[in-house]
Amino acid sequence: MENMVVKEIPTNNILLIENIRVTGFEKEDLSELMQSIKQNGLQQPIRVFGNEKKGYKIIYGHRRLKSFQKLGYKTIPAFVEKGELTTEEFTILNAIENIQRKQISAFEIGRISSYLSDTNSISEIAVKLSISKSRIHDSLRLFKSVPIEHREKIKWFSDSEKRDKKGKIPASLARDIIYVSKKYQLSRLEREELFELAHLQELTTREMLIIRKLLSSGKNLKEAIHELKNLSIKSISFMVNKRLLKSELMKNKCNGLAGLLEKKFGSKMEPLGLRPISG
């Protein structure tokens, strides 16, 4: 960090560049981080580049910045990178931060590696991201296994993040689709069908596990999807019937209680506003 200085900069003068793993992070629950900042202050400054006149652009620390803004703090401690950064330099710094925090999927590493491979060899990418060449190779293979039209829809989501996932495919689900496609030798069209179902939010990780079990039992993908839909309909029907049964039990319970009260108090129930519930 020889090329940086730490200074307090205005929170309203920082421009957001989309973080590699963050899409819609503004909807994330930041309450724990905000509480920690209030009690202990900021433990690690954010990192930006730019200047006060033209504005700063954030490299990492999106959640910290958003927490400061929500708390109403006017300034935030930041490592300020001197001079401008190229898109490649920004991408590498952002990726390294998320790799170190283990907040990045293999698919995202594949996406970054694919972008960097235009001007870098696999060995150079591995050195720049501080990860092994085998990890780069595996991540690239995963990324290129996804149909081009779905690549930008795949996003990394942590278990704790509550966000609008409409139109986006969790990286974990994409990985499962690719694994199943390879293991059961699905055709390109069948793989694309699974990705389209995921994009339309008609396929979850749990349902993908069911499809995997159905394929392993000898069914083809069309049969597996058909059976999955039937299972979903039966599940919904069961839940509806369960609610109706619960409602009926409550109704019978109320009728039984009203009957006991009438037997005990007789005509005294009417002045009290109590009357049996008819069936």
Among candidate residues 75, 86, 143, 150, the one with its CA nearest the CA of residue 112: 143
Count CA within 13 A, CB hemisphere, residue 261.
15
The answer to whether residue 227 is domain-embedded is no
The answer to whether residue 69 is domain-embedded is yes
Q: Which of 2-16, 20-34, 189-203, 246-260 has the highest mean pLDDT?
A: 189-203
**Residue that has been written with the tokens 């300020």 in this structure:** 80
User: pLDDT over 90 for what percent of the chain?
Assistant: 24
The per-residue pLDDT for range 150-174, each reduced to its tens digit, is 777 777 654 444 445 566 788 788 8
The per-residue pLDDT for range 222-256, each reduced to its tens digit, is 998 888 888 765 554 544 455 555 565 566 555 55
The answer to whether residue 141 is domain-embedded is yes
Domain termination site, one of 71, 101, 131: 101
The answer to whether residue 265 is domain-embedded is no
CB-count exposure of residue 189 (10 Å: 0-12, 13-18, 19+): exposed
Q: Share the mean pLDDT of the chain.
A: 78
Count of domains for the chain:
3
pTM: 0.56
The span from the CA of 171 to the CA of 153, in Å, is: 9
Residues 6+ apart with CB under 8 A from 37: 64, 67, 68, 71
The span from the CA of 194 to the CA of 208, in Å, is: 9
Range of the domain at 8: 1-101
Tell me, what CATH number does 88's domain have? 3.90.1530.10
